[in-house]
Amino acid sequence: MPHSVAILGASGYTGAELVRLIATHPDLEIAALSADRKAGQSMGEVFPHLRHLDLPSLVRIDEIDFASVDLVFCALPHATSQEVISSLPRNVRIVDLSADFRLRAAADYEKWYGRAHSAMDLQAEAVYGLTEFYRDEIRTARLVAGTGCNAATGQYALRPLIEGGLIDLDDIVIDLKTGVSGAGRSLKENLLHAELSEGTHGYGIGGIHRHLGEFDQEFSALAGRPVEVQFTPHLIPANRGILGTVYVKGEAQAIHSALAERYAAEPFVIVLPMGEAPSTRHVRGSNFVHLGVVGDRRDGRAIVLAALDNLTKGSSGQALQNANLMLELEETAGLMMAPVFP
């Protein structure tokens, strides 16, 4: 019998992506879809690419009967998310795609999100959702906090290197190029086609991007000392895809070996042969991560490149992978579709 799931915030891109993925999932059934402002509309009206599916209409969250729901995907904005999740019955398991439960310390949340956290009790039971590194905790968690898409990209490149003591912790630069869907369906001038296409620019640079909170938390915990990376995201004219170019001081060959070994058994993380560079085009629409390692003409310096689809592996695909674990399903169920190229 399929498990019953609800998606809260189904009118955004990550909500729609969840529906896309679950549409061919053998063991999940969508019981409810919420979208407060678009309640009453059908999903096919809001997202015509989902017209062929037989889906429940969009409703307000308070219209959902959670008694018959096994798991909730919460694709709401941060701050809203913590309120809503606080009100859910305890029987429901939750994968949250917002930023609300990623940071373990109340002070960190306040620092990066500019407001106090109102549900620190829930935070205490939340598990950080980077599947490949928290798999066991995720299996038994009631609440899993999906990672930031940029934060996931950087961590795939760096965690094994920090754990292995392979790089200089004081000189890590993450230069990131990201597609526009990561910004969601929000109406801003700089997200218009006329303003975004045919160019690129950096944004949120200078040590102020919120995903730094995740980098700091995770890398410092791994290293057992404070680690502060330099992180510079750029918007590129593509809808899906993040490429992280990570500059580290360490031996390229050792770094490549460490990554290859660490991810050898992972179904979704592929380490390219030494010297090859990944492309976001080659993971588009899929749950795969491609990692590449290239040296420099100077010894002791290396570049790790990581490519993933921000809406899939960076968000909704990760969420589904975690849900599979929580529901004791095949971890890869619904997620093995190949990337769409060209």
Site for a second copy in 10-69 (CB under 8 A): 13, 16, 19-20, 23-24, 47-53
- Using the contact rule CB under 8 A, the part of the chain among 108-116, 120-128, 178-186, 323-331 near a second copy is 178-186
- Using the contact rule CB under 8 A, the part of the chain among 62-70, 103-111, 144-152, 241-249 near a second copy is 241-249
Q: Which of residues 292-311 bind a second copy (CB under 8 A)?
A: 294-298, 301, 303, 305, 307, 311
Helix axes 131-140, 317-326, angle to 10 degrees: 40
Integer angstrom CA distances of residue 59 from 35, 170, 309, 324: 6, 49, 29, 25
Nearer to a second copy, 118 or 232 (CB): 232
The nearest distance, CB 278 to a second copy, in angstroms, is 7
- Using the contact rule CB under 8 A, the part of the chain among 61-69, 140-148, 287-295, 321-329 near a second copy is 287-295
Sign of CA dihedral 14, 18, 21, 24: negative
C-alpha–C-alpha distance, residues 338 and 284, integer Å: 9
C-alpha–C-alpha distance, residues 259 and 70, integer Å: 36
Nearer to a second copy, 195 or 328 (CB): 195
Q: Catalytic residue at 74?
A: no
Residue 286 in the binding site for a second copy (CB under 8 A): yes
The nearest distance, CB 124 to a second copy, in angstroms, is 28
Evaluate whether 74 touches 96 at the Cβ level (below 8 Å).
yes
Integer angstrom CA distances of residue 146 from 114, 303, 306: 20, 26, 18
Sign of CA dihedral 113, 324, 134, 307: negative
Q: Which of residues 251-270 bind a second copy (CB under 8 A)?
A: 268, 270
Place of tokens 């960190």: 108
Cβ neighbours, 10 Å, residue 88: 21
Residue 245 in the binding site for a second copy (CB under 8 A): yes
Evaluate whether 245 touches 291 at the Cβ level (below 8 Å).
no
The nearest distance, CB 161 to a second copy, in angstroms, is 17
Choose which of 203, 221, 261, 328 interacts with a second copy (CB under 8 A): 203
Q: What is the secondary structure of 38-78 as a DSSP string?
A: TTTS-HHHH-GGGTTS--PPEE-GGG--GGG-SEEEE-PPT
Sign of CA dihedral 331, 308, 154, 195: negative
The nearest distance, CB 141 to a second copy, in angstroms, is 27
Annotated catalytic residue within 69, 149, 243, 258 = 149
The nearest distance, CB 196 to a second copy, in angstroms, is 4
Q: Look up residue 190 and give its amino acid.
A: N
Nearer to a second copy, 125 or 195 (CB): 195
Choose which of 195, 261, 328, 330 interacts with a second copy (CB under 8 A): 195
Residue 314 in the binding site for a second copy (CB under 8 A): no
Residue 199 in the binding site for a second copy (CB under 8 A): yes
Evaluate whether 135 touches 321 at the Cβ level (below 8 Å).
no
- Using the contact rule CB under 8 A, the part of the chain among 66-74, 81-89, 114-122, 225-233 near a second copy is 225-233
Choose which of 39, 92, 254, 337 interacts with a second copy (CB under 8 A): 337
Active site residues: 149
